[in-house]
Amino acid sequence: MTLLGVDRAMASDELNQSRGRQVRLNWLRDLYQSCCDNELWKFIARAYLLHLVGCTIFANKSATYVRTHYLKLFRDLPICRKYAWGVTALVYFYKQLGDATFANTKQLAGYLPLL
């Protein structure tokens, strides 16, 4: 709520709709647009970055949700540019490749252009 500038009711509604500690990417796009209309720059940056990592580095098999715990990465915006995003992408992708080796797995998550 604090990092994206949404009220408790809006956050609860989205978390209930997405069934857990994740938000829909289209909800983030709508939030981004709303913040742009009101010129709330820090919230705009966090919504954009959360959407970006949800679509690229930390992409999951649903392709429609991003977990909210990634939002903690953007708590301090000037510092997050110093993170090792390339290493993070490779580690996450490597873990997803390990999960994809199971016989009943039919999809692969992660940033597939790295493959």
CB-based contacts of 71, cutoff 8 Å, min separation 6: 3, 4, 46, 50
Burial class (CB in 10 A: 0-12, 13-18, 19+), 28: buried
Question: Cα(77)–Cα(80) distance, rounded to whole angstroms?
Answer: 5
Instruction: Specify the pLDDT at position 23.
Output: 93
Give the pLDDT means over successive 10-residue stretches in the chain (115 positions).
89 88 92 93 94 87 86 92 89 85 81 74
Written as six digits, the tokens of 50 are: 């959360």
The Cα-based distances of 34 to 15, 44, 47, 79 in angstroms read: 18, 9, 11, 25
Written as six digits, the tokens of 12 are: 């609860």
Instruction: Specify the pLDDT at position 111.
Output: 74
Instruction: Specify the pLDDT at position 112.
Output: 75
Instruction: Specify the pLDDT at position 49.
Output: 94
- The structure's pTM equals 0.83
Instruction: Specify the pLDDT at position 79.
Output: 93
